[in-house]
A and B are shown apart, each in its own frame.
Chain A
Amino acid sequence: MNKKIIILIVFAAPLLVIFLSLFIGRYPVSIARVLQVLWSGITASTWGQPDVYNTLIWQIRMPRAILGAMVGGCLAISGAAFQGLFRNPLVSSGILGVSAGAGFGAALSILIFHSVTGATYVFAFAFGLLAVFLSYLISKIYNSSPTIMLVLGGVIVGSIFSALISFAKYAADPYEELPAIVFWLMGSLASSSYKDILVAGIPMFIGISGLVLIRWRINVLSMGDREAHALGINLVVDKGLVIVCSTLAAAGAVCVSGVIGWVGLVIPHIARMIVGNDNRVLIPASLSLGACFLVLVDDVGRIITGAEMPLGILTSLVGAPFFIWLLKKTKAGGW
Chain B
Amino acid sequence: MALVEVIDGVFAYNKNRIFTNINLSVEKGEILCLLGPNGCGKTTLIDCILGMHMLNDGKILINGLDAKKFHPGELAKYVAYVPQNHERTFPYKVLDIVQMGRAAYTGRFSSPSQQDQDIAAEALAMVGLIKLKDRPYTQLSGGEGQLVMLARALAQQTPVIIMDEPTAHLDFKHEMLVLEMILDLVRNRELTVIMATHFPNHAFWFENNALKTRVALMHEEHFVEVGPPMDVICEKNMRLLYNIDTRLLSFRVNELGEMHQIVPVKTL
Residues of chain A whose beta carbon lies under 8 Å from any beta carbon of chain B? 84, 87-89, 144, 213-217, 219-220, 222-235, 237-238, 241, 276-278, 280, 334-335
* CA A234 to CA B74, docked complex, whole Å: 10
Partner of B104, one of A232, A276, A334: A232
* CA A215 to CA B107, docked complex, whole Å: 12
Set of chain B residues within 8 Å of A226, measured between Cβ atoms: 47, 50, 52, 81, 83
Set of chain A residues within 8 Å of B106, measured between Cβ atoms: 216
Partner of B96, one of A225, A227, A234, A278: A278
Contact (Cβ within 8 A) B91 A232: no
Set of chain B residues within 8 Å of A228, measured between Cβ atoms: 103
21 sampled A-B residue pairs with Cβ under 8 A: A87-B89, A214-B108, A214-B109, A215-B111, A216-B110, A216-B112, A217-B103, A219-B96, A220-B100, A222-B89, A226-B47, A228-B103, A229-B52, A231-B76, A231-B100, A231-B152, A232-B77, A232-B103, A232-B104, A232-B156, A277-B136
* CA A88 to CA B90, docked complex, whole Å: 9
B93 within 8 A of A: yes
Set of chain A residues within 8 Å of B80, measured between Cβ atoms: 230
- Range of interface residues on B (Cβ < 8 Å): 35 or more
Partner of A227, one of B13, B83, B93: B83
Set of chain A residues within 8 Å of B79, measured between Cβ atoms: 230
Within 8 A of A (CB), among B54-106: 71-77, 79-81, 83, 86-87, 89-93, 96, 100-101, 103-104, 106
Set of chain B residues within 8 Å of A238, measured between Cβ atoms: 108
Contact (Cβ within 8 A) B86 A231: no
B51 within 8 A of A: yes
Main secondary structure of the interface of B (DSSP, over half): loop
Partner of B92, one of A217, A233, A277: A277
Set of chain B residues within 8 Å of A144, measured between Cβ atoms: 13
* CA A220 to CA B81, docked complex, whole Å: 14
Contact (Cβ within 8 A) A234 B73: yes
* CA A215 to CA B104, docked complex, whole Å: 15
Contacts beyond the supplied A87-B90, A277-B90: 16 A-B pairs with Cβ under 8 Å: A89-B90, A216-B110, A219-B92, A220-B100, A226-B47, A226-B52, A226-B81, A229-B50, A230-B52, A230-B80, A231-B103, A232-B104, A233-B72, A237-B108, A276-B93, A278-B96
Set of chain B residues within 8 Å of A234, measured between Cβ atoms: 71-73
Set of chain A residues within 8 Å of B110, measured between Cβ atoms: 216
Residue on B with the closest CB to A236?
A: B72
Contact (Cβ within 8 A) B92 A231: no
Q: Which 3 A-B pairs have the closest CB atoms?
A: A232-B76, A232-B104, A230-B81
Within 8 A of A (CB), among B4-36: 13
Contact (Cβ within 8 A) A335 B76: no
Within 8 A of A (CB), among B143-180: 152, 156
Residue on B with the closest CB to A144?
A: B13
Counting chain B CB atoms within 10 Å of each CB, the highest count among A219, A231, A276 belongs to A231
Contact (Cβ within 8 A) B109 A213: yes
Contact (Cβ within 8 A) B104 A280: no
Partner of B101, one of A216, A231, A276, A277: A231
- Minimum distance in angstroms from B53 CB to a CB of chain A: 10
Contact (Cβ within 8 A) A232 B90: no
* CA A84 to CA B86, docked complex, whole Å: 16
- Minimum distance in angstroms from B110 CB to a CB of chain A: 7
Partner of A231, one of B90, B108, B156: B156
Residue on B with the closest CB to A278?
A: B96
* CA A225 to CA B75, docked complex, whole Å: 15
